[in-house]
Chains A and B, each alone.
Chain A
Amino acid sequence: GQQLNQSPQSMFIQEGEDVSMNCTSSSIFNTWLWYKQDPGEGPVLLIALYKAGELTSNGRLTAQFGITRKDSFLNISASIPSDVGIYFCAGPNSGGYQKVTFGTGTKLQVIP
């Protein structure tokens, strides 16, 4: 099946720093979704991307749909302690849009 690889797997950053993470796939995706999961809770949708090359912002978060349609990037500017959590990329499988595959996750720790 389709796999989504995220990097880095985890990162420690200082409060106020910018953060970049990415997600790559071996196959083409038509939609890219970015989620954040706080400990003990369900993932919450941050940004949805529907078009190759699309760049979308949500507050301090910016995500891009890669031109090749095989990758996506999430940037967080001026990190704050509440940015701590696990960030997942996801996308519906091209073989059947009902199924949504999730990436391996990037665990973010922010040092105050």
Chain B
Amino acid sequence: SQTIHQWPATLVQPVGSPLSLECTVEGTSNPNLYWYRQAAGRGLQLLFYSVGIGQISSEVPQNLSASRPQDRQFILSSKKLLLSDSGFYLCAWKQGNNSPLHFGNGTRLTVT
């Protein structure tokens, strides 16, 4: 069966520090991979998605970037965090165009 791992679960970082969140999927190949952000009590905003290694689509201009160095690995990064980067970051995968998304457990990021 397929599983998705996301870490760390929580992170507190100072403003101006770098960020690296990692997500890996097991039990499938060539998945579509996604990063979403959720502000407190609000909906999910799509940040990036990838349909293959090295292929990244950005949905919202911002202080973040994403990379997919391996088929089942998706990384969210920032060179310098802003206060506004605080939020709940969710990684997700799906197989094929019309299939549902499956989410990781999320990373709670607090920028201080």
Q: A residues near B, CB below 8 A?
A: 30-31, 33, 40-45, 48, 50, 88, 90, 92, 97-105, 107
Q: Which residue of B lies closest to A90 (CB)?
A: B101
* 15 extra A-B contacts, CB within 8 A, seeds A30-B98, A45-B102, A100-B101: A41-B106, A42-B6, A42-B90, A42-B105, A43-B103, A92-B97, A92-B98, A97-B97, A98-B51, A98-B97, A102-B36, A102-B43, A102-B46, A103-B43, A105-B42
Interface size on B, residues (CB 8 A): 26
Q: A44 and B103 in contact (CB under 8 A), knowing A101-B46, A103-B43, A105-B43?
A: yes
**Which residues from A are CB-within-8-Å of B57?**
98
Main secondary structure of the interface of B (DSSP, over half): strand
The 6 listed contacts between A and B (C-beta, < 8 Å) are A42-B6, A50-B98, A88-B44, A90-B101, A102-B44, A103-B43
Whole-angstrom distance between the alpha carbons of A103 and B44 in the complex? 8
Q: Which of A44, A45, A99, A107 contacts B46 (CB 8 A)?
A: A99
Docked-complex contact B101 and A41, CB < 8 angstroms: no
* Minimum CB–CB distance for A67 against chain B, Å: 19
**Which residues from B are CB-within-8-Å of A40?**
106, 108
Q: Which of B29-55 contact A (CB under 8 A)?
A: 32, 34, 36, 41-44, 46, 49, 51
Q: Which residue of A lies closest to B90 (CB)?
A: A42
Whole-angstrom distance between the alpha carbons of A102 and B90 in the complex? 13
Q: A42 and B43 in contact (CB under 8 A), knowing A33-B101, A100-B101?
A: no
**Which residues from B are CB-within-8-Å of A42?**
6, 90, 92, 103-106
Whole-angstrom distance between the alpha carbons of A40 and B105 in the complex? 8
**Which residues from B are CB-within-8-Å of A44?**
103
Docked-complex contact B43 and A104, CB < 8 angstroms: yes
Docked-complex contact A97 and B98, CB < 8 angstroms: yes
Q: Does B27 belong to the interface (CB within 8 Å)?
A: no
